[in-house]
Amino acid sequence: MTETGADFWTAKRIACWREDRWAAQRAYLETDSAFYRELWQGVAPPERLGDLVRLPFTTKAMLRESQVAQPPFGHYLAAPSERVARLHRTSGTTGRAMNIAMSAADALQTAEVGARSHRASGLGPGHRVIHCLNYQMWMGGFTDHASLEATGATVIPFGIGGTELLVRTIQDVGVTAIHCTPSYPAVLERVIADKFPDISPRDLGLKLGLFGGEAGLDDPAFRARLESVWGFSARNANYGVSDAFSNFAGQCGHETDLHFLGLDVLYAELIEPESGEPLDWGDGVTGELVLTHLDRECQPLVRFRTSDILTVTATAPCACGRTGPRFRVVGRSDDMVVVRGVNVFPNAVGAALGAFPELSGEYRIRLRGKGPYDLLPVEAELAAGQATTPELREAVSEAINAEIRASTEVHLVAPRSLPRTEGKTQRVIREADD
């Protein structure tokens, strides 16, 4: 089990704690995980965390195959099935949804670590936070609810849907903070404009916007627009990887990078995505995040490739006192598009579009076939009242080209023509050839 305040521990204390936790987890895996006994083929896991590089990676494809062969949890379920206290499911945005098993201890630990992210972002006693993520089995629903409660804030479990009722609820009960995806405020803005013409988003009186589940807030223009329209402080308060840990990183009030806040329960590696070679956690290093559980009962993972590409921005302690490394999420390796040899992530396209007030900020990258691609096809949505002009299309195309260092094919689409979602927004649409 984790300890309160571990996000402020010294590097020496964290290192000692993690080695102790790994000793216990290692023994547990050897006796209780059929999945890893098979994967490691009789080779004992190393005693020291620094030697984990000797072990093979665990991939999402392996976990999917395991659950298909042995439903519902796969043979990487290490605990007896009667120890499973809660069943969650991943969002399925990158493929077949996965079933997540949690023991009571797993669930409590997840809530405590997730609360660190929300506390870092400013949430605590005295706040009334309305939670607007999907409760239908997704980790972001009930699990994040528990993390919000663990901060001492009053939590209103709203979920998704019923946006008009959401606006009235914020007004009626004096909500001070909202927890949702970065794309959801756009849905709210449309409903306010259509159904509540006498008020603006600022009139709702929200002080904190706590976001997670999608990219977006790393774009300064997008963040600035949110704060200008809503009048709240926008914080990236919820970064996690559903298969491994729901929420273990968040932003404090001193800077916009994410703090790694789960060092006592997760051992993190960075690797070169193509070769799998290990990389140092040094300032400015970019690589794929690999995670190992140090204290997990139901579905412990070792060297799990997350597909998330991170850039380490700082390793020294922050002004807020938290000691873990800070980072930004560049994108997902499975969302990466190669255009004439250049690796392109959707986040970079969104950053370029954010500089244009003539655009709403909504976009889609619509790919046909498996590639390779000579041009990146981008659908960018116009803001309300704007019309397409050759000059605007050319300016947008040039801005994206400069950001991603590759050529684009830009289509400006009508205002409100791209769908808004209350859950995760899928930016890359892959279509088969006719």
Say if strands 359-368 and 342-344 run parallel, antiparallel, or are unpaired: unpaired
Cis upstream peptide for 372 (omega within 30°): yes
Neighbours of 109 (CB within 10 A): 22
CA 368 to chain centre: 26
User: Vertex 45, ends 38 and 65: CA angle to 5°?
Assistant: 30
Q: What is the pLDDT of residues 182-225, one digit of tens each?
A: 889 988 998 999 999 999 999 999 999 999 877 778 888 889 99
Average pLDDT over residues 247-262: 95
Phi then psi for 201, rounded to 5 degrees? -55, -35
Q: What is the mean pLDDT of residues 395-414?
A: 88
344-371 pLDDT tens trace: 878 788 888 888 989 988 889 888 877 7
Cβ pair 153, 124 in contact under 8 A:
yes
pLDDT of residue 68: 93
Angle between helices 142-150 and 104-120 (to 10 degrees): 60
Q: How far apart are CA 158 and CA 183, in angstroms?
A: 17
Tokens of 336: 């990466």
Q: What is the DSSP string of 278-331?
A: EE---TT-EEEEEEEESS-SSS--SSEEEEEEEEEEE-SPPTTS--S-EEEEEE
- Which pLDDT does position 3 carry in this prediction? 55
| Mean pLDDT score across all residues of the chain | 91
Interval 158-172: pLDDT, tens: 998 899 999 999 999
Length of the chain: 434
Q: Which CATH class is domain 337-431?
A: alpha beta
Mean pLDDT, residues 58-82 taken together: 95
Q: In the CATH scheme, what is the code of domain 12-262?
A: 3.40.50.12780
pLDDT at residue 374 is higher than 90? no
State the pLDDT confidence band at 234, using cuts at 50, 70 and 90. Answer: very high
Look at residues 109, 253, 86, 256 and name the one whose alpha carbon lies nearest to residue 182: 256
* Domain regions of the chain by residue span: 12-262, 337-431
User: What is the DSSP code (8-state) at residue 183?
Assistant: T
pLDDT tens profile 273-322: 889 999 999 999 999 999 999 999 999 999 999 999 999 999 999 999 99
Structure tokens at 102: 């949690």
The tokens for 405 are 């260092």
